[in-house]
Structure 1
Amino acid sequence: MYLTSGAEATVKLEDGIIIKERVPKSYRVRELDERIRKERTKAEARLLSEARRAGVPTPVIYDIENSTIKMQYLDGTAMKYVIDEKLSEQIGILIADLHGAGIVHGDLTTSNLILFNDRVYMIDFGLSFFDSSTEARGVDVHVLFQTFESTHKDHEKLIEAFCRGYRQDFEQADEVLERVKDIEKRGRYA
């Protein structure tokens, strides 16, 4: 059963396992396309594993083959449907752990956060990368805040709760949150 199909990959559920496969790009030379898809798949799996090692709940990877990742299916609820201040604070803690490990998610939305067995899990590391810069971390948080603002009427409270969690154990939190404000200002006048 197909769960989603995007520009980069298809995601299907088969026998209780998620199968994410990067789709071929016909505009690229076949050999180059295969290499790019294989490298991006390996990178995504590595980032998922590193995030998990840093204490961020992610799906367990079962297998990687060419441009396909087989991983744990989390039969949970997308955060966009259940988020509240308490969960937003938990998300702040998780993102602090992720950023503390030098990982930027790259697509931080409430659709890529799943509530499963009373824990918040992070999914879809397809756009993730290693980066410890304040700018990259700030853009990551800014994307999440934009998601809050566009989909949740009580977004100010969600942002405040996130910031409480983010600041708990992350030394660079205030620096990153200040950068988020700068990024927001840049976007208004662009």
Structure 2
Amino acid sequence: MQDKLLAEAVWLLEQYDARAERVLGVGAEAVVVKCEWRGFEAVAKLRLAKPYRDPALDALLRSKRTALEAKLMFEARKLGVAAPAPLFVDAEEGLLIMDYIPGPRLRDVLARLESREEVFETVGFYAGLIHGRGIVHGDLTAANVIVSEGGVYVIDFGLGAFSNDLEEQGVDVHLMLRSLESTHPSLAPQLYRAFMRGYAKARGEEARRLVESKVLEIRRRGRYVAERRRRAALA
């Protein structure tokens, strides 16, 4: 599967003076490829056509999502968030080329990371910055944070949006908490507190309280649905 995707990426990227090297990841909507682009170490994200969808609608959706992701990254960087820089966009082809950030995913090094509280405070600060300017990430988890020698980077704005909706902000924070609880449950409470300290530094205590209240509401709804499903299964 990866060989086929890499072959397709090689062909497409050659049209843009880029040389594909290896597949970094394959998701539901895109393939991510390490490449060299005009002398830069880069990453290319290629949104894949969905064969089950009307071709015209599919092309429109891929184009809009690609352009939006690049704009979200650009705006986040303007706010001071460490994120990859968009280098080239061809929205019609669903292609976004960005600079390559070397380093492991936060999820993979968390247990042995001495500065983990500081890192989570930084990520929380970044979340507060973007929420304060009407941006939500959409998939804010420890898997979408890279710990690099140059700092802590937030990646993959592919599910993000421009929104001031408190529910969507709460979902961002809830996703981070849930990712911690699923992979590092013993560390989750202290790291969530560090995350929210950083969040408050960016947005203030009132915004922090509102978002945390929304997170609790989201979690209660989730537990209610899970309990209803459990009871239905036993009935």
Unaligned 5+ runs, structure 2: 1-21, 111-115, 226-235
Q: Distance in 1 between matches of 2:46 and 2:163?
A: 25
Three-state SS of the structure 2 residue aligned to 1:111 is helix
CA contact under 8 A between 2:128 and 2:200: conserved in structure 1?
yes
Report the alpha carbon displacement of residue 118 of structure 1 after superposing the two structures with TM: 4.0
Which residue in the other structure is 1:176 paired with?
211
Aligned residues with identical type, % of pairs: 39
**Structure 2 residue identity aligned to 1:63:** F
CA contact under 8 A between 2:76 and 2:83: conserved in structure 1?
yes
Report the alpha carbon displacement of residue 117 of structure 1 after superposing the two structures with TM: 2.2
Structure with the higher helix share, 1 or 2: 2
CA contact under 8 A between 2:126 and 2:202: conserved in structure 1?
no
Map Cα deviations across residues 72-122 of structure 1 (whole Å, 9 max, x no partner).
010111111233212111111111111111111110110101112241111
Which residue in the other structure is 1:78 paired with?
105
Runs of 4+ in 1 over 6 A off after TM superposition: none
Q: Distance in 2 between matches of 1:138 and 1:103?
A: 12
Of the three residues 214, 222, 233, the one matched with 1:187 is 222
**Structure 1 residue identity aligned to 2:192:** I
Which residue in the other structure is 1:46 paired with?
71
Report the alpha carbon displacement of residue 169 of structure 1 after superposing the two structures with TM: 2.9
Q: Distance in 2 between matches of 1:158 and 1:118?
A: 21
**Structure 2 residue identity aligned to 1:128:** G
Map Cα deviations across residues 122-173 of structure 1 (whole Å, 9 max, x no partner).
1111100011121111111001100011111311111111111111131311
* Greater RCO structure (CA 8 Å; 6+ sep): 1
Of the three residues 157, 167, 174, the one matched with 1:142 is 174
Give the count of matched residue pairs. Answer: 190
1:17 aligns with 2:26: no
Higher Cα radius of gyration: 2
Task: State which drifts further: 163-172 or 68-77.
Answer: 163-172
Three-state SS of the structure 1 residue aligned to 2:203 is coil
Task: State which drifts further: 180-189 or 79-88.
Answer: 79-88
